[in-house]
Amino acid sequence: MAGVVRKAVEKNLVESLEVGVQKVKVNMLQYADDTLFLCEANFKSVCNLKVILHCFELASGLKVNFSKSRIGGVGVDHTVIQQFATILNCEVMKTPFKYLGLLVGGSHKRVSFWDGVLERVKNRLGRWKGRFLSLAERVYLIKSVLSSIPLFYLSMYKLPSAVLKEIEKI
Residue (of 82, 61, 85, 69) closest to 35 by Cα position: 69
89 shares a domain with 8: yes
The count of structural domains within the chain is 2
Look up the pTM and report it.
Answer: 0.62
User: Which domain, by its residues, includes 70?
Assistant: 2-95
**Is a pLDDT exceeding 70 seen at residue 5?**
no
Out of 55, 75, 95, a domain closes at 95
- Look at residue 85 in the predicted model and tell me its pLDDT: 92
Q: What is the pLDDT, as a whole number, of residue 86?
A: 92
CA distance 41 to 2: 20
If asked whether residues 16 and 68 sit together in one domain, one would say yes
Q: What is the pLDDT of residue 169?
A: 78
Is the pLDDT higher at 142 or at 130? 142
Same domain, residue pair 66 and 118: no
Residue ranges in 40-134 assigned as alpha helix (H): 43-60, 78-88, 115-126
Q: In terms of domains, do 118 and 148 share one?
A: yes
Contacts for 4 with CB less than 8 Å, ≥ 6 apart: 52, 55, 56
43 within domain boundaries: yes
83 and 120 belong to one structural domain: no
pLDDT band (50, 70, 90) for residue 129: low
Tens of pLDDT along 107-120? 888 888 888 888 88
- pLDDT single digits (tens) 38-92: 788 888 888 888 888 888 889 889 888 888 888 888 788 889 999 999 999 999 9
Q: Quickly state the pLDDT bin for 165 (edges 50, 70, 90).
A: confident
Of 95, 130, 161, which residue sits at a domain end? 95
Q: At residue 130, does pLDDT exceed 60? A: no
**Which one of 95, 115, 146 terminates a domain?**
95
